């Protein structure tokens, strides 16, 4: 009926013409989303394609069509807006990732993930920034300052966890998935802290105190964001358990879960924290407690509804990026010197490749030092896969680039427009070319992924004999994870794996003794009907 | 991480301050939504309250707080926008209503519903417009023209189906629910056509040909909108059945259902049709065909996810209306003549009451003429309930009022601002006061609603002996609906009930012979796992 209002409006009031344009844009966009889903479904068994590339390709083709029909004035249906991306599209994706992640794998590899995500991103940032400074200084690049070079380092250090999720499979390669995805979440936080630092700190007076301040800032962000997410998740579990929502309405349970997850993200935004980390941990806590406190139909609904929302948001992003890439304004400044543009893009792509290699292989080597058995080590093939799977750059890079290079109306400046178009080129090239080659590469490098699954799921990280003395008695809930005939670990290994292992053990005791009675969780809810569906869902969800 | 960008932005770039304001607004709004859900849950067993009133009250209180803290400059977090309402909030509500409506009840009462929704709304429109013209002409009302009086008639003829859904219960009073809700959907379409007509047609030269044009316009809108909705629903059923989506991913099924439903609404908007009718029929077709073609978990998910989305959108609307009601700008013009404003609001409320009474009772009488048995007739108590339950005016009225009285920047005009504030007063008063009294009234007037359910579900509308001769053989699938010992119907009864009954019979044959093999639907899908959950869902969903 909203339409009907407009059916007469164009005749009477020209100012409402934009309303009608936005209806056309939304309609076309939704139709394209449907097309992406159908085509993605048909290409599911294709060995090269994935949904991201399909959406990008459809977005690009639509952009071309719009460009031709509009006579070269515009290529996108909607303007690229950071807000749309950070406020509406990213939260459901990251929340769902936390909600569906295999928590055992994630926490088991927590140290390695943090190493890759924080130290690795820092290494990548330094290499890309240094490389850009050294290589671009010689070229005619217009008005780029030190801050711009450092910003490009931070921008291109942000890997695209969305695309990674589509390429790697949590069930086939759980270790790689948890490493690459976990790294992606920490990496996003790191990139943004770096980006902020580049924008806000006075870079001309770099000294140790500012460096310490940066490190302190990162730790503060990481801890507070995590705590906020955990608190929001626990609050939702407590409310639903205490008020017994299922009694009256399934829909209220689902609604309160969605809204509280979103609230945690927005609160993090409000307090200048990392919304990504917050909503990720909120998802983990919700799947550990809240999800077990709701009725069975709410469980099925949330599991699939969150996945669907995330799925739609992902396709939306890639379609959007594909369409926006052709926007003519950005390219018009660059078009008179295509050589420079190509050179810059190639250099940046090279730096991305080198920057990632420079931390994946050394840090894997470091991580392998802590693992005695040959089975546990991250093999060279797996290292190459980790390196490759994190090469894609996506919407986060685009959003940061727009923030840095367009916000003061500087798009007409030569340096800024080269940087924006180069970022777009890197994003498109890495997503399409690297993305296309990832599936075959994973199949080539890890042919026995079934074997890998078994190897990893029985991965003996800490020997039982090592935990038991610490605790003084034999009762533990992790017996299945531990192989009894392991040698004593090396000291570096102790350093890296012991904290998370014993923390996990104490956590389990704490969880059973205090958390679950208060916040609910698996097996603690009296009103769960024990149907077959429910049991199979429990198994699917893991712990 | 979007936040982190902003953590430095306020220091550097003041133009981004509005970003932060919108984050504050969204955070507060989401927190209020959570509060509404929790409080609504706690008040569930209260005999007066319902979720709409809770949300309105919380919205009003928040408005007061914002008004006080902002020093009287503003009362709302977000500006009331027609687009937000018609493009994002209304579609999920109406789609879900179509998706969950008991189709047998709806189609059985199709004629009565159309009578109430089309003829009734027209009567109400005429009475409110005439009353306004006669009564307001004597008052000092500023610059109101004939078009404005007719517009106010159309605006206040739009009942609030959202609020009705909250007050009546589909299981306790199915006949009333289907009559009042079905009327609401048709009523919305009628009001909008009338509103359009008032805005676009040249009212100074009213003649029979224009009246015919109006009627033709309405029929065209009704038929094309319905067909579009049906086509979109069938297309989704066909795609999902043919491409066998469940094979690869449950999420794709859910995503394509959501997106195609939304696409149908937007297409209707695009072609200047009634999006409400389209998405309503799309919901009906999807629940009849598409829903049966998807995997079991998709069925549970869609059923609850759509209900949840609709639930959140409803609360959102009432919270929004509550907050917007206090917006100070509108009231400042009116404040120097509070007497006039109160008088106008009271007159309009009275006209709403009379306008609705003027069609509910006569049309119920007409409808009763076609029903012989005393059990089938719409009793006086039920008529009063129908009259009362449709008195609430809601967000549709607000949106239309904003469209009519603010769009040319005329808010400062005395007449326009009186009309807007009076509409707000009518909306608030009718929702809160009439809404509060509805639950007790329904309990008072229809104490034996359990008995009513039985009466209605075995309601014998057409005798078997009446259908069989028409068809020439005894095979029919409606035996359960027909009581064999009914007298022959009167001629008026035949006129009103026969078409829909025999259409329904032929429809069932056509459905079984042609539609279900092509589009799927209950029992025709080979890959349905026959679990207990699924069967109970089938029963819940009805046909």
Q: How far is B420 from chain A (nearest CA, A)?
A: 18
The alpha carbon of A316 is separated from its chain's Cα centroid by a whole number of angstroms, namely: 15
pLDDT of residue B272 exceeding 60, the answer is yes
Distance, CA of A308 to CA of A302 (rounded, Å): 10
Distance, CA of B85 to CA of B74 (rounded, Å): 20
Structure-token match 């509406």, residue found = A88
> Which chain A residues contact residue B27 at CB under 8 A?
263, 266-267, 269-270
> Which chain B residues contact residue A44 at CB under 8 A?
248-249
pLDDT of residue A264 exceeding 90, the answer is yes
> Which chain A residues contact residue B90 at CB under 8 A?
1-2
Distance, CA of A3 to CA of A8 (rounded, Å): 9
Provide the pLDDT confidence category of residue B497 given band limits of 50, 70 and 90. low
Residues 1-40 of A with CB under 8 A from B: 1-8, 11-13, 16, 19, 22-24, 26-27, 30-31, 33-34, 37-38, 40
Provide the pLDDT confidence category of residue A11 given band limits of 50, 70 and 90. very low
Question: In this predicted model, what pLDDT tens digit does every residue of A494-542 receive, in sequence order?
Answer: 545 555 566 677 777 888 888 888 787 776 544 444 333 333 344 444 4
Nearest chain A residue (CA) to B191: A1
Question: In this predicted model, what pLDDT tens digit does every residue of A156-184 receive, in sequence order?
Answer: 988 877 666 666 777 777 778 888 888 88
E strand intervals along A120-183:
none
Q: How far is B529 from chain A (nearest CA, A)?
A: 11
pLDDT of residue B485 exceeding 70, the answer is no
CB contact B88 to A (< 8 Å): no
In degrees and rounded to multiples of 5, residue B76 shows phi and psi of -120, 155
DSSP B316-368: HHHHHHHHHTT-HHHHHHHTT-HHHHHHHHHHHHHHHHHHHHHHHHHHHHHHH
More confident site: B246 or A526:
B246
Question: Quick one: what percent of chain A has pLDDT higher than 90?
Answer: 14
Contact A248 B41 (CB under 8 A): yes
Nearest chain A residue (CA) to B19: A83
pLDDT of residue B469 exceeding 50, the answer is no
Contact A301 B298 (CB under 8 A): no
**Which pLDDT score, from 0 to 100, does residue A32 have?**
92
Question: In this predicted model, what pLDDT tens digit does every residue of A375-416 receive, in sequence order?
Answer: 667 888 888 888 888 888 887 788 788 778 876 555 567 778
The residues that bridge with B453 in the sheet, in sequence order, are none
Contact B239 A38 (CB under 8 A): yes
CB contact B61 to A (< 8 Å): no
Distances from the Cα of B246 to the Cα of A98, A165, B34, angstroms? 24, 20, 34
Structure tokens at B249: 């991913």
Q: What is the sign of the dihedral through the CA atoms of A259, A265, A268 and A270?
A: negative
Nearest chain A residue (CA) to B27: A266
CB contact A304 to B (< 8 Å): yes
**Which pLDDT score, from 0 to 100, does residue A12 have?**
28
ipTM over 0.85: no
Distance, CA of B3 to CA of A276 (rounded, Å): 10
Number of neighbouring beta carbons within 10 Å of residue A312: 23
CB contact A195 to B (< 8 Å): yes
Contact B27 A90 (CB under 8 A): no
Distance, CA of A496 to CA of A516 (rounded, Å): 29
Q: 3-state class of A284 per DSSP?
A: helix
Distances from the Cα of B520 to the Cα of A505, B291, B508, B511, angstroms? 52, 9, 14, 10
Closest CA to A400 of A376, A372, A419, A381: A419
Residues 263-292 of B with CB under 8 A from A: 263, 266-276
Question: In this predicted model, what pLDDT tens digit does every residue of B119-176 receive, in sequence order?
Answer: 898 899 999 999 988 888 777 666 677 788 888 898 898 887 766 666 677 777 777 8
Provide the pLDDT confidence category of residue B481 given band limits of 50, 70 and 90. very low
Provide the pLDDT confidence category of residue A201 given band limits of 50, 70 and 90. low
- Give the range among A50-64, A206-220, B101-115, B490-504 with minimum mean pLDDT: B490-504
> Which chain B residues contact residue A269 at CB under 8 A?
2-3, 6, 23, 27
Query: Closest partner residue to A259 among B3, B30, B252, by Cβ?
Result: B30
Contact B262 A30 (CB under 8 A): yes
Provide the pLDDT confidence category of residue A228 given band limits of 50, 70 and 90. very high
Structure tokens at B460: 């014998």
CA atoms in the 13 A half-sphere facing the CB of B306: 30
Question: In this predicted model, what pLDDT tens digit does every residue of A324-373 receive, in sequence order?
Answer: 777 766 677 667 777 788 888 899 999 999 999 999 999 988 888 877 66
Closest CA to B537 of B303, B310, B307, B253: B303
**Which pLDDT score, from 0 to 100, does residue B479 have?**
33
Distance, CA of A537 to CA of A31 (rounded, Å): 33
**Which pLDDT score, from 0 to 100, does residue A471 have?**
32
Closest CA to A120 of A175, A178, A186: A186
Scored b (16 or more CB within 10 A) or e, A412-446 reads ebbbbbbbbbbbbbbbbbbbbebbbebbebbeebb
CB contact B396 to A (< 8 Å): yes
Distance, CA of B318 to CA of B54 (rounded, Å): 9
Q: Would you say B496 and B370 are in contact if contact means Cβ atoms under 8 Å apart?
A: yes
Residues 400-439 of B with CB under 8 A from A: 400, 403, 407-408
Distance, CA of A353 to CA of A349 (rounded, Å): 6
Distance, CA of A294 to CA of B35 (rounded, Å): 19
> Which chain A residues contact residue B254 at CB under 8 A?
304-305, 308
Q: Would you say A257 and A309 are in contact if contact means Cβ atoms under 8 Å apart?
A: no
Q: How far is A395 from chain B (nearest CA, A)?
A: 12
Probe site for chain B from A4, A23, A46, A299 (most B CB atoms < 10 A)? A4
> Which chain B residues contact residue A245 at CB under 8 A?
41
Query: Closest partner residue to A37 among B189, B200, B252, by Cβ?
Result: B252
pLDDT of residue B78 exceeding 60, the answer is yes
Structure tokens at B142: 């500023």
Distance, CA of B457 to CA of A155 (rounded, Å): 64
More confident site: B46 or B54:
B54
**Which pLDDT score, from 0 to 100, does residue B328 have?**
66
> Which chain B residues contact residue A399 at CB under 8 A?
2
Distance, CA of A474 to CA of A512 (rounded, Å): 17
Query: Closest partner residue to B403 among A5, A298, A531, by Cβ?
Result: A5
Q: Would you say A391 and A353 are in contact if contact means Cβ atoms under 8 Å apart?
A: yes
CB contact A535 to B (< 8 Å): no
Closest CA to B150 of B184, B122, B169: B122
Contact B38 A254 (CB under 8 A): no
> Which chain A residues contact residue B41 at CB under 8 A?
243, 245, 248-249, 252
CB contact A534 to B (< 8 Å): no
Q: How far is A28 from chain B (nearest CA, A)?
A: 9
Scored b (16 or more CB within 10 A) or e, B193-202 reads bbbbbbbebe
Length of chain A counted residue by residue: 543
> Which chain A residues contact residue B22 at CB under 8 A?
83
> Which chain B residues contact residue A13 at CB under 8 A?
407-408
Query: Closest partner residue to A304 among B221, B260, B298, by Cβ?
Result: B298
- Give the range among A13-27, A192-206, A264-278 with minimum mean pLDDT: A13-27
Q: Would you say B92 and B279 are in contact if contact means Cβ atoms under 8 Å apart?
A: no
Question: Quick one: what percent of chain B has pLDDT higher than 90?
Answer: 13
Distance, CA of A421 to CA of A411 (rounded, Å): 10
Q: How far is B513 from chain A (nearest CA, A)?
A: 28
Contact B38 A196 (CB under 8 A): no
Scored b (16 or more CB within 10 A) or e, B156-165 reads bbbbbbbbbb
Q: How far is B58 from chain A (nearest CA, A)?
A: 17
Provide the pLDDT confidence category of residue B351 given band limits of 50, 70 and 90. very high
> Which chain A residues contact residue B221 at CB under 8 A?
4
CB contact A250 to B (< 8 Å): yes
Distance, CA of B178 to CA of B257 (rounded, Å): 24
Q: Would you say B165 and B396 are in contact if contact means Cβ atoms under 8 Å apart?
A: no
Contact B2 A260 (CB under 8 A): no
Structure tokens at A48: 């090269």
pLDDT of residue B352 exceeding 90, the answer is yes
């Amino acid at each position: 009926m909203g339409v009907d209002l407009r059916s007469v409006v164009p005749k009477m009031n020209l100012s409402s013409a934009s309303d009608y344009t936005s209806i056309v844009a939304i309609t076309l966009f939704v139709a394209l989303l449907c097309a992406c889903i159908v085509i993605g479904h048909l290409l599911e068994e294709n060995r090269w394609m994935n949904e991201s590339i399909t959406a990008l390709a459809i977005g690009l083709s639509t952009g071309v069509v719009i460009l031709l029909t509009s006579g070269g004035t515009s290529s996108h249906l909607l303007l690229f807006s950071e807000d749309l991306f950070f406020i509406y599209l990213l939260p459901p994706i990251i929340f769902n990732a936390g909600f569906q992640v295999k928590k055992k794998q994630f926490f088991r590899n927590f140290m390695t993930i943090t190493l890759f995500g924080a130290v690795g991103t820092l290494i990548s940032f330094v290499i890309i920034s240094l490389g850009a400074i050294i290589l671009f200084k010689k070229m005619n690049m217009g008005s780029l300052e030190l801050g711009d070079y450092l910003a490009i380092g931070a921008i291109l250090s942000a890997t695209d966890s969305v695309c990674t999720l589509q390429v790697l499979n949590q069930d086939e390669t759980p270790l790689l998935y948890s490493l690459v995805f976990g790294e992606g979440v920490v990496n996003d936080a790191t990139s943004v802290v770096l980006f902020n630092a580049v924008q806000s700190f006075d870079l001309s007076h770099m000294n140790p105190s500012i460096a310490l301040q940066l490190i302190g800032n990162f730790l503060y962000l990481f801890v507070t964001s995590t705590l906020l997410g955990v608190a929001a998740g626990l609050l939702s579990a407590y409310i639903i358990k205490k008020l017994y929502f299922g009694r009256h309405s399934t829909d209220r349970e689902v609604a309160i879960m969605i809204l509280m997850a979103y609230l945690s993200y927005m609160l993090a935004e409000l307090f200048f924290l990392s919304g990504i980390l917050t909503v990720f941990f909120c998802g983990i806590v919700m799947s550990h407690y809240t999800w077990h406190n709701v009725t069975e139909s709410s469980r099925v609904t949330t599991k699939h509804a969150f996945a669907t929302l995330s799925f739609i948001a992902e396709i939306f992003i890639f379609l959007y990026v594909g369409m926006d890439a052709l926007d003519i304004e950005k390219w018009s400044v660059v078009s008179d010197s295509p050589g420079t543009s190509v050179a810059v893009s190639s250099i940046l792509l090279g730096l991305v490749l080198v920057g990632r290699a420079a931390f994946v292989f050394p840090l894997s080597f470091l991580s392998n030092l802590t693992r005695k058995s040959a089975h546990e080590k991250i093999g060279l093939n797996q290292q190459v896969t980790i390196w490759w799977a994190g090469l894609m750059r996506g919407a986060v890079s685009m959003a940061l680039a727009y923030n840095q290079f367009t916000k003061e109306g500087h798009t007409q400046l030569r340096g800024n427009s080269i940087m924006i178009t180069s970022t777009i080129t890197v994003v498109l090239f890495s997503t399409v070319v690297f993305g296309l080659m990832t599936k075959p590469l994973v199949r080539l490098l890890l042919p026995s992924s079934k074997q890998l699954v078994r190897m990893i799921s029985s991965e003996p990280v800490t020997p039982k004999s090592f935990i038991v003395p610490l605790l003084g008695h034999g009762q533990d809930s992790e017996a299945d994870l531990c192989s009894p005939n392991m040698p004593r670990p090396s000291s570096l290994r102790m350093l890296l794996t012991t904290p998370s292992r014993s923390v996990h053990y104490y956590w389990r005791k704490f969880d059973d003794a205090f958390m679950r009675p208060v916040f609910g969780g698996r097996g603690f809810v009296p009103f769960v009907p024990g149907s077959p569906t429910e049991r199979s869902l429990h198994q699917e969800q893991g712990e």
